[in-house]
Chains A and B, each alone.
Chain A
Amino acid sequence: MKNSEESDSYIIHGKLALPYTYFAGRTGSTFLTTLRDQRIIMGVKCTACNRVFVPPRQTCERCMADIRSQWVTVESQGKVVNHTVIRYQDKHLPRKPPFVLAMILLNGADTPMTHILEGVNPDRVVKGMEVAAVFSPATTNTLLDIDHFEPVAEPP
């Protein structure tokens, strides 16, 4: 920059912090309240392409079909299809590092969902690992009513 004079240059500290409420949508409301009240993970199935979407949505983006009423229950168990080990600390993260975020394909679903994976050494996570949801003891009224996933069997 042309004028990079640094004397008499003052920085003020600020912060954006603004509580919000977000309508979860009708489809999202059913998903979240069913998760909260019945500990069941729901998806929606497009009958045109036979895909089951988790998280649910009201339209199949490929078929442009209205699928909002085609609820199916998927299992709370599935396979790890991808993962990362988060080794940095930050305020938006749900756990202290290191922890694992995984893409998990639940049995009965066609789109993997992302969630926290615990109960396994982060360096021992492998593709195809069978994992199951661990529900939170008290409701959070959010997706975090699934507190995390953990391996079904002890890893070798």
Chain B
Amino acid sequence: MTRNVSICAMAQIKNQPAIWQHRFQGMLMECFESIMEQTQVTFDMDTGLRNVVTCSDDVFDARTISDAAVTDVVGAHFRGEEKVAQDGISALGYAMACILSGHDDLILVMGHCKESQSESRNMCTNLSFDPFYSRPLGLDYLNAAAFQARAYMEETGLTDAHLADIVVRSRQNGAHTRHARENEQVTAKEVMASPLVADPIRQMHHYPVTDWAVGFLLCCEERAHEFTDNPVRLTGFGSCMDSYFLGDRDLTAHFALKKACARAYTMAGITDPEKELDLVELNDACAYQLPLWAEGIGITGKARGPKWMEAGGMDKHHVNLSGGMLNGNPLMLGGLARAAYGFTQLQGTAGINQVTGLQRALAHGTTGAAGQHHAVLILEK
């Protein structure tokens, strides 16, 4: 029997620069209690939650086996608990697989990241590189992204002005999104005057340090009514890992993103993403990534990113109405934040930026330097 999967509930705290007065366990606890309250889900081993999927990172948490520190607050003791240590959108994909396989009816997905805990986010991401050929050079996710940004700008004619427009729009949209990080509104001129940090990336082109936690309750479709009147179905998921070395990759070719999309689109029965996606949430840790990823998922037609932007593509395709990762979500949770926003839009509770007549959304996550790994999730009303 073919099964379907729904998200029955989502709970999050506000994205903030530094939630110093709460441990990450406390951040998760608030999400957990909200999901219990929204759904009345139980921990009965026959009818309730038997398995929890968590998402966290050891280096950001400064303790190894970071999931072991949160099992109690996410209700994972005395039952299955599995950790995803990459962008949490893969945790949603994994939870889907648990349900689609018939192994479980219900999965709780809980993710947290407190970027503010470490002195330097770039030092954390430097540790994701090998200690032989990359780490001694100081490679981190910011300077690795700079190579990709330069290659993309050279190839497509994307300019500093395009990037400024993306930042301005991100902050405007972020201000309309509940639980989004509160950032100062800026003008394009201010963005273009913000200091270069890793040419061609300026400070304002890069997402700010952020702390956040989020939880989702996933359920097989036939039991979704037990927990909500307003479920959102998950109809497709795909992921792909590209080569590790930056020099082995074509940084602008979308190799992994296209493969991830192909898998998700096949699963969801999408043949023309440009027409069949009503809302798109892309994981843009840096401004240049919005048009780059938009090309990769196939919503820019034959146009390259800059031309697509100039033709109003971002608003036409409802891309990153949440503000995107650029407005501020922590690493590891960028894709979960995209899915959380897609969920609120499909539920019809997104507020000022609510799109009407929405049927289908795409949420995207990346892990690794300059988008080494991509994962996409298709959500439907």
A residues neighboring B (CB under 8 Å)? 1-6, 9, 11, 14, 16, 20, 22, 24, 28, 32, 53-55, 61, 82-88, 90-95, 101, 103, 111-116, 122, 127, 142-144
* Beta-carbon contact of A55 and B22 below 8 Å: no
Q: Which of B27, B122, B132 has the largest count of A CB atoms less than 10 A from its CB?
A: B132
* Beta-carbon contact of B247 and A103 below 8 Å: yes
Task: Tell me the bound Cα distance from A106 to B186 in angstroms.
Answer: 43
Task: Tell me the bound Cα distance from A4 to B30 in angstroms.
Answer: 12
Contact of B131 among A22, A84, A87, A113 (CB under 8 A): A22
Given contacts A55-B133, A92-B135, A103-B147, 8 further A-B contacts (CB under 8 A): A22-B131, A22-B132, A83-B150, A84-B150, A88-B142, A88-B198, A94-B138, A101-B138
Q: How many pairs, one residue from A and one from B, have CB atoms within 8 Å of each other in the complex?
A: 111
* Beta-carbon contact of B132 and A92 below 8 Å: no
Given contacts A1-B14, A1-B22, A114-B246, contact A87 B197 (CB under 8 A): yes
Contact of A92 among B138, B150, B246 (CB under 8 A): B138
Taking the complex as formed, is B136 at the interface, i.e. its CB lies under 8 A from any CB of chain A?
A: yes
Q: Which of A82, A84, A103, A114 has the largest count of B CB atoms less than 10 A from its CB?
A: A84
* Beta-carbon contact of A87 and B196 below 8 Å: yes
A30 CB, nearest partner CB in chain B, Å: 12
Which residue of B has the minimal Cβ distance to A16? B62
Given contacts A1-B14, A111-B247, contact A93 B138 (CB under 8 A): yes
Taking the complex as formed, is B151 at the interface, i.e. its CB lies under 8 A from any CB of chain A?
A: yes
* Beta-carbon contact of B137 and A101 below 8 Å: yes
**A-contact 0/1 string along B117-159, CB 8 Å cutoff:** 0001011001000011111111110110011001100100000
Interface residues of B in 243-278 (CB under 8 A from A): 243, 245-248, 251
User: Secondary structure of the A side of the interface?
Assistant: loop
Taking the complex as formed, is B199 at the interface, i.e. its CB lies under 8 A from any CB of chain A?
A: yes
B interface, how many residues as a size bin? 35 or more
Taking the complex as formed, is B85 at the interface, i.e. its CB lies under 8 A from any CB of chain A?
A: no
Contact of B198 among A32, A84, A95 (CB under 8 A): A84
17 A-B residue pairs with Cβ-Cβ distance under 8 Å, sorted by A, are: A22-B131, A55-B245, A83-B150, A84-B143, A84-B201, A86-B138, A87-B195, A87-B198, A88-B197, A92-B126, A92-B140, A101-B139, A114-B246, A115-B137, A142-B132, A142-B136, A143-B136
A20 CB, nearest partner CB in chain B, Å: 8
* Beta-carbon contact of B199 and A87 below 8 Å: yes
B205 CB, nearest partner CB in chain A, Å: 13
* Beta-carbon contact of B136 and A113 below 8 Å: no
B377 CB, nearest partner CB in chain A, Å: 26
**Within 8 Å CB of B136, what residues of A?**
94, 142-144
Task: Tell me the bound Cα distance from A114 to B62 in angstroms.
Answer: 28
Task: Tell me the bound Cα distance from A65 to B19 in angstroms.
Answer: 49
Task: Tell me the bound Cα distance from A55 to B246 in angstroms.
Answer: 11
B residues neighboring A (CB under 8 Å)? 13-14, 19-22, 26-27, 30, 62, 120, 122-123, 126, 131-140, 142-143, 146-147, 150-151, 154, 195-201, 243, 245-248, 251
**Within 8 Å CB of A5, what residues of B?**
21
* Beta-carbon contact of A90 and B199 below 8 Å: no
Task: Tell me the bound Cα distance from A115 to B195 in angstroms.
Answer: 24
Task: Tell me the bound Cα distance from A84 to B199 in angstroms.
Answer: 5
Which residue of A has the minimal Cβ distance to B138? A93
Task: Tell me the bound Cα distance from A113 to B14 in angstroms.
Answer: 41
Task: Tell me the bound Cα distance from A112 to B249 in angstroms.
Answer: 10
**Within 8 Å CB of B132, what residues of A?**
22, 24, 28, 32, 55, 142-143
**Within 8 Å CB of B147, what residues of A?**
82-84, 103, 114
Task: Tell me the bound Cα distance from A19 to B202 in angstroms.
Answer: 34
**Within 8 Å CB of B154, what residues of A?**
127
Task: Tell me the bound Cα distance from A54 to B133 in angstroms.
Answer: 10
Given contacts A9-B21, A87-B196, A92-B122, contact A82 B137 (CB under 8 A): no
Q: Which of B19, B120, B200 has the largest count of A CB atoms less than 10 A from its CB?
A: B120
B125 CB, nearest partner CB in chain A, Å: 9
* Beta-carbon contact of B197 and A1 below 8 Å: no
B140 CB, nearest partner CB in chain A, Å: 7
Contact of A91 among B27, B120, B195, B201 (CB under 8 A): B120
Task: Tell me the bound Cα distance from A9 to B243 in angstroms.
Answer: 45
**Within 8 Å CB of A115, what residues of B?**
137
B127 CB, nearest partner CB in chain A, Å: 8
Which residue of A has the minimal Cβ distance to B140? A92
* Beta-carbon contact of A82 and B198 below 8 Å: no
* Beta-carbon contact of B120 and A90 below 8 Å: yes
**Within 8 Å CB of A87, what residues of B?**
195-199
**Within 8 Å CB of B135, what residues of A?**
92
Given contacts A4-B21, A103-B246, A114-B137, contact A90 B122 (CB under 8 A): yes
